[in-house]
Amino acid sequence: MESKMMNTAKLGAMVLAGLIFLVMMLYIIGKNQNIFGSSITVVAVVEHVSGLVPGNDVRFQGINVGTVKSVEMVNDSTIHVTIYVLNKMRPFIRKNAMTTINTDGLMGNKIIQIVPQAGDAPPIEEGDILYAQPGVDPDRIFKALDVTSGQIAKTSENLFEITERIKLSEGVWKLLGDTTISEELKSTLGAFRAAGSQATTLGKTANEMLHTWENGGGLVNRLFTDSVMSNSFFKTIQDAEKATAEANRTILEIKAMVAEVEAGQGTAGLILKDSATRESIHQSIMMIEKGVEEFNINMEAMRHNFLFRRYFKKLEKEQKKSQP
């Protein structure tokens, strides 16, 4: 009888231990799945879940704030991911937040991450919708790395071929061993340094000029700031433009006169082109000069004639009186 009671007690203890273990496991699972905790449900709208399944973690700022409840296909381009979010984290997550699906580590499970956005918005509530933010797909990264590694391999092959050609080329080594070329390179570098120094000096001079201009010194600043001087300067420019216009008009008139002379038009053209007229004018001038000379001789004779001598002396006295 005692042995039967002992066996019954052992069986009851084992059943009780099993029940306790089952309750603990259910509690742990429920806690991880946010079944027993106080939480709200939020829907994340995405185009691709990238392997996300119910039970995966939901993170906000690196903290686990919930789990994935379900994944439902709405149409060919939209998927609704229903997630549990702990009620105590609700005040920190805003309605303008966005979601992205990432990997936990490099090769870990998929997680859905809530990304906060700039701007002011109220906290999320039961049934709110969060839209997806374009995330980084690891598959695309691996494909890009594969392409990049292939390009690096080709580049390495090309560099190897170039180094082999340089190694086998005698001209390159002769060029490197030529002291004349090295001296020319040194002189070229020296010229570049000198040019750089000159450019630096020129820059300093330009800075000084700008500094003088900004501080109100120099003619340029006065020209732009002094209204009297600027008006005088613009008036001078206008006078110069008028003088230039007058000079151009005079040049055109002279060109027209020269053209008339060359064409034989006018008095000057007639004199220069017609030899008979030119000879007649020359003879007339000679006769006028001869008449003037004879007139001067007659006047001198009249001065010494006793009939007109008194008259000329009177004229000389009047001229002397009129002079100061």
Residue 64 lies in a domain: yes
Task: Give a yes or no: residue 228 inside a domain.
Answer: no
Which of 112, 136, 160 delimits the end of a domain? 136
pLDDT digit string, tens, across residues 213-229: 666 555 555 555 556 65
| pLDDT score of 72 | 92
Question: What is the reported pLDDT for 208?
Answer: 76
Q: Is 89 a domain residue?
A: yes
Are 81 and 159 within one domain? Answer: no
Q: Confirm whether pTM is higher than 0.75.
A: no
Task: Give residue 9's pLDDT.
Answer: 78
Domain span including residue 158: 138-168
Helix (H) or strand (E) holding 141: helix 138-168
Tell whether 126 is covered by a domain.
yes
> Does residue 232 lie within any of the structural domains?
no
Within a domain: 296: no
Q: Are residues 52 and 131 in the same domain?
A: yes
Query: Is the domain of 1 the same as that of 78?
Result: no
95 and 44 in a common domain: yes
Are residues 50 and 97 located together in one domain of the fold? yes
Alpha-carbon distance of 84 to 37, in angstroms, equals 10
Query: Do 64 and 125 lie in a common domain?
Result: yes
Residue 218 has a pLDDT of 55
Whether 8 and 85 map to the same domain: the answer is: no
In the predicted model, residues of the chain with pLDDT beneath 50 are: none
Q: Does residue 130 sit in the same domain as residue 142?
A: no
pLDDT at 303: 63
Asked if the structure places residue 226 within a domain, the reply is no
Query: Residue 196 domain-assigned?
Result: no
Report pLDDT for 283: 75
Query: How many independent structural domains does the chain possess?
Result: 3
